[in-house]
């Protein structure tokens, strides 16, 4: 008995109400289809009625599913243990001073807590450090989506001139002078290594274990409607209606995994810091933009660096909203220190960009609306995920 369910949400396009129509088509023999219409989540006299977990699921929201790993990089506990060591090991950087954990610190929500990351010695980075929490679910990584897998992203970080600045062959030679690593790589990947690609695969599997847990919104979705406060429930309804957030922030991760131009203001430390401008211009040249773009660009081109399509200039990947309580500051350039600032930016209709997303518009939110939205967004934050820094194995000359 097939069932088809249709949901029409008008609030996401600016109508400050949500209309829910659930059409159940029961096909059995020559029976005519029957239609069941559920009432909207508000009463005739305007009394607030929150969304239910069922309604949220119809909209596409849900708890996290199991991670789907690439077939060529299966999970094993031994690989996780190896990846954990490598993640914290600064010897994977050229100066042996920067590890993956330098920018993705467990105590900082697996970010560095800075508006713009600090970068390799003698340089500074040009973008905000995204969290690696739940990163195994993303089909694209980095703010411009250039990495399509966790292991590819790890390789880019190790090789990046303003990240770890490391040559892959040097990674292999260093690991081959550490007996414990040689044994662990033999056990996990077979004899002959260690190899750079295998190191990145182990780091990726470790990262795939860094997942949200004990999230109030998830408990709500699993049937505990008391897990969200009244303010959080009001915020969720605003999120899916008047505020229009769910137009881009939807699904299990609260992201459409797409790219949008928001016109986020450029921080002063980006445009007035000469060392950061060196990094910016290096990125433009090394990633093959035209001479005209190299000479005239004054802000991060975003997706354009990957596609070289003019309409992609200034567009960035929609970040997930899970764990916002642990991952401030926000946006690709860390322009906003608080969620209140983020909401005020959207409430005003966004910023200025030649490719500004047409979904952006002034929202007219009240102070109570803003407070409720912040409360809901905080309900997407779970327990801190703390992994203790391991004791790293020492070098020893091996022939």
Q: Is residue 390 part of a domain?
A: no
Share of the chain above pLDDT 90, in %: 86
Kindly state whether residues 99 and 187 are assigned to the same domain.
Answer: yes
First vs last C-alpha separation in the chain: 68
Please report which confidence band the pLDDT of residue 46 belongs to, taking 50, 70 and 90 as the band edges. low
Kindly state whether residues 16 and 120 are assigned to the same domain.
Answer: no
Kindly state whether residues 86 and 200 are assigned to the same domain.
Answer: yes
Kindly state whether residues 41 and 162 are assigned to the same domain.
Answer: no
Check if the beta carbon of residue 355 is closer than 8 Å to that of residue 261: yes
Listed residues 207, 240, 264: the one ending a domain: 207
Kindly state whether residues 25 and 87 are assigned to the same domain.
Answer: no
**Mean per-residue pLDDT, 270-289:** 94
Residue 5 has pLDDT above 50, yes or no: no
Q: Is residue 20 part of a domain?
A: yes
Residue 30 has pLDDT above 50, yes or no: no
Please report which confidence band the pLDDT of residue 373 belongs to, taking 50, 70 and 90 as the band edges. very high
Q: What is the pLDDT of residue 105?
A: 97
Check if the beta carbon of residue 278 is closer than 8 Å to that of residue 120: no
Q: What is the pLDDT of residue 249?
A: 97
pLDDT in tens, 337-362: 999 999 999 999 999 999 999 999 99
Kindly state whether residues 103 and 197 are assigned to the same domain.
Answer: yes
**Mean per-residue pLDDT, 63-78:** 96
Q: How far apart are CA 370 and CA 258, in angstroms?
A: 25
Q: How far apart are CA 396 and CA 188, in angstroms?
A: 21
Kindly state whether residues 186 and 117 are assigned to the same domain.
Answer: yes
Q: Domain total for the chain? A: 2
Please report which confidence band the pLDDT of residue 34 belongs to, taking 50, 70 and 90 as the band edges. very low
Residue 300 has pLDDT above 90, yes or no: yes
Q: Is residue 212 part of a domain?
A: no
* Residue 128 belongs to domain with CATH number: 1.10.760.10
Q: Is residue 374 part of a domain?
A: no
Please report which confidence band the pLDDT of residue 47 belongs to, taking 50, 70 and 90 as the band edges. confident
Q: How far apart are CA 27 and CA 41, in angstroms?
A: 28
Lookup result for tokens 């789907």: 68
Residue 236 has pLDDT above 50, yes or no: yes
Share of the chain above pLDDT 70, in %: 88
> Across all residues in the chain, what is the average pLDDT?
89
The answer for residues whose C-beta is within 8 angstroms of residue 358's C-beta and 6 or more apart is none
Q: What is the pLDDT of residue 23?
A: 31
Phi and psi, residue 75, nearest 5°: -80, 145
Q: Tokens standing for 280?
A: 């910016």
Residue 176 or residue 18, greater confidence: 176
Q: Is residue 294 part of a domain?
A: no
Kindly state whether residues 82 and 203 are assigned to the same domain.
Answer: yes
Kindly state whether residues 125 and 14 are assigned to the same domain.
Answer: no
**Mean per-residue pLDDT, 54-80:** 96
Q: Is residue 288 part of a domain?
A: no
Q: What is the pLDDT of residue 267?
A: 92
Q: Is residue 182 part of a domain?
A: yes
**Mean per-residue pLDDT, 107-129:** 94
Kindly state whether residues 41 and 81 are assigned to the same domain.
Answer: no
Kindly state whether residues 98 and 191 are assigned to the same domain.
Answer: yes
Phi and psi, residue 260, nearest 5°: -140, 150
Please report which confidence band the pLDDT of residue 387 belongs to, taking 50, 70 and 90 as the band edges. very high
**Mean per-residue pLDDT, 154-174:** 97
**Mean per-residue pLDDT, 230-243:** 97
Kindly state whether residues 5 and 97 are assigned to the same domain.
Answer: no
Please report which confidence band the pLDDT of residue 40 belongs to, taking 50, 70 and 90 as the band edges. very low
Listed residues 207, 232, 250: the one ending a domain: 207
**Mean per-residue pLDDT, 97-103:** 97
Q: What is the pLDDT of residue 397?
A: 87
Domain that holds residue 9: 1-45
Q: How far apart are CA 58 and CA 76, in angstroms?
A: 35
**Mean per-residue pLDDT, 11-40:** 35
Listed residues 207, 232, 254: the one ending a domain: 207
Q: Is residue 259 part of a domain?
A: no
């Amino acid at each position: 008995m097939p069932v088809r369910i249709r949901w029409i949400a008008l609030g996401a396009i600016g109508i400050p109400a949500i209309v829910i129509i659930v059409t159940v088509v029961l096909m059995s023999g020559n029976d005519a289809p029957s239609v069941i219409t559920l009432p909207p989540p508000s009463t005739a006299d305007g009394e607030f009625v929150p969304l239910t977990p069922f309604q949220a699921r119809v909209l596409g929201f849900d708890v996290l599913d199991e991670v789907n790993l690439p077939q060529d990089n299966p999970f094993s506990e031994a690989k996780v243990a190896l990846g954990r060591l490598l993640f914290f090991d600064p010897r994977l950087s050229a100066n042996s001073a920067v590890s993956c954990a330098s920018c993705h610190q467990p105590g900082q929500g697996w970010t560095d807590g800075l508006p713009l990351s600090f970068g390799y010695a003698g340089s500074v980075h040009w973008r905000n450090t995204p969290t690696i929490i739940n990163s195994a679910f993303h089909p694209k990584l980095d703010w411009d989506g250039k990495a399509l897998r966790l292991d590819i992203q790890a390789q880019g970080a190790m090789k990046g001139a303003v990240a770890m600045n490391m040559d892959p062959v040097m990674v292999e030679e260093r690991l081959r002078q550490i007996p414990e690593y040689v044994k662990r790589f033999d056990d996990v990947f077979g004899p002959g290594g260690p190899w750079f690609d295998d190191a990145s695969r182990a780091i990726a599997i470790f990262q795939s274990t860094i997942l949200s847990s004990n999230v109030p919104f998830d408990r709500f979705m699993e049937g505990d409607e008391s897990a969200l406060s009244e303010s959080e429930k009001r915020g969720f309804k605003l999120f899916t209606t008047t505020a229009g957030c769910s137009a881009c922030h939807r699904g299990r991760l609260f992201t459409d995994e797409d790219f949008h131009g928001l016109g986020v203001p450029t921080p002063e430390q980006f445009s007035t810091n000469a060392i950061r401008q060196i990094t910016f211009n290096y990125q433009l040249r090394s990633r093959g933009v035209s001479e005209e773009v190299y000479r005239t660009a004054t802000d991060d081109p975003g997706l354009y660096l990957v596609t070289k399509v003019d309409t992609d200039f200034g567009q960035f990947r929609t970040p997930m909203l899970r764990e916002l309580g642990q991952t401030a500051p926000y946006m690709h350039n860390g322009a906003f220190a608080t969620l209140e600032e983020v909401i005020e930016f959207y409430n005003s209709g966004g910023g200025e960009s030649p490719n500004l997303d047409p979904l952006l518009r002034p929202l007219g939110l009240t102070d109570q609306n803003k407070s409720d939205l912040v409360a809901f967004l905080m309900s997407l934050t779970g327990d801190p995920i703390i992994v203790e820094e391991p004791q790293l194995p020492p070098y020893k000359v091996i022939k």
